[in-house]
Amino acid sequence: MRKMNVVVTAALFIFVMIPLVTDAQMLPRGVVKFTGKEIRGDQQTGLMVIPSKRIPFITVGSLYHGFTVLLPYSESWELESGTELPLLAKEKYFIASINIGLSPIRTPTEYYEKLLENMKKSGEFELQKVEIVKIADTQKPILRYQVRKALMPEQSRDMNRWRWNYWVAVQYGPAWYALHLSVGNEDEDTLRREERRIMFALDSLTPGPLK
C-alpha cells in the first residue's frame, strides 16, 4: 500500500535546513503515534501533538524545526520527525509533510512553478488538473493537482490511482516552509466536501519558534 502513495518533497529543488535547536537525543528520524492523548515535547522528535477542544483538528508543533500546523483530527496519525526531515505524518486518509529550505524564489507561485517543473523533468510522475487556487478567507495561493506514478506496469494500474495533492508555501525570513497534503483516493464529490478542512489545514501553517 505504501508503495502506491505518491509523496513528492520540495527537496527536488531546495536544500533542507538544519533544526533551529539541536539536541543530543534528537534522532535522524523518530516516530510518535497520536491515539487521542496529548504529546508534549517528545525528546527524540521534538514534536508536540495537542487535540483541539473546539474544532476537529490536532495541533502539531516542532520545538526543533520551529513550526505549528493544524491537521484533521484522527487517532491514527503516525508522525515522523528528526534531523533529516521536519515532518512526515500519515493516517488512513491523509499524508502530510513539511519541508524547510533556502531558495532564491520570491513568491509562492514561483515556488509551485519550480516544483511542477522539476516533477515533470524527473519523468517519475503523471500530472493532471493542475491549478493554483486561493483560500477564500485569506486569498493565500495554494497549488492543487492530481498525480500518479508514471511508467507503471499495466497489471499495477488499478493500484496506481490518481491522488489529489495540495501545497502551501510560506516565507519566513530567508527560508521557505512548505506544507504538502496528499489526500486518499476519493470521488470528486467527497473531495469537495472535505476540501474546506483541507484548506483550513493548509492555511494554518505557521513558521517560527514555538512560544
Question: What are phi and psi for residue 172, nearest 5 degrees?
Answer: -140, 100
Q: Rounded to an integer, what is the distance from CA 89 to the centroid of its chain? A: 8
d(CA 12, CA 137): 30
Contact 166, 142 (CB under 8 A): yes
* H/E run at residue 69: strand 67-72
Predicted pLDDT at 150: 85
62-83 per-residue burial string, b: 16 or more CB within 10 A, e: under 16: bbbbbbbbbbbbbeebebbbbb
d(CA 100, CA 18): 9
Predicted pLDDT at 161: 82
Average pLDDT score, the chain? 84
Q: Quote the domain boundaries for residue 41.
A: 2-207
Instruction: Give residue-wise pLDDT tens across range 88-119.
Output: 999 998 999 999 988 888 999 999 999 999 99
Number of domains in the chain: 1
C-beta neighbour count of 127 within 10 angstroms:
15
The parts of the chain modelled with pLDDT lower than 70 are 1-27, 154-159, 185-187, 189-190
Q: Which amino acid is at 142?
A: I
Predicted pLDDT at 4: 40
> Grid coordinates in use for 48?
508536540
* H/E run at residue 25: none
d(CA 211, CA 35): 25
> Grid coordinates in use for 164?
489529489
Domain harbouring 74, CATH code: 3.40.1000.10
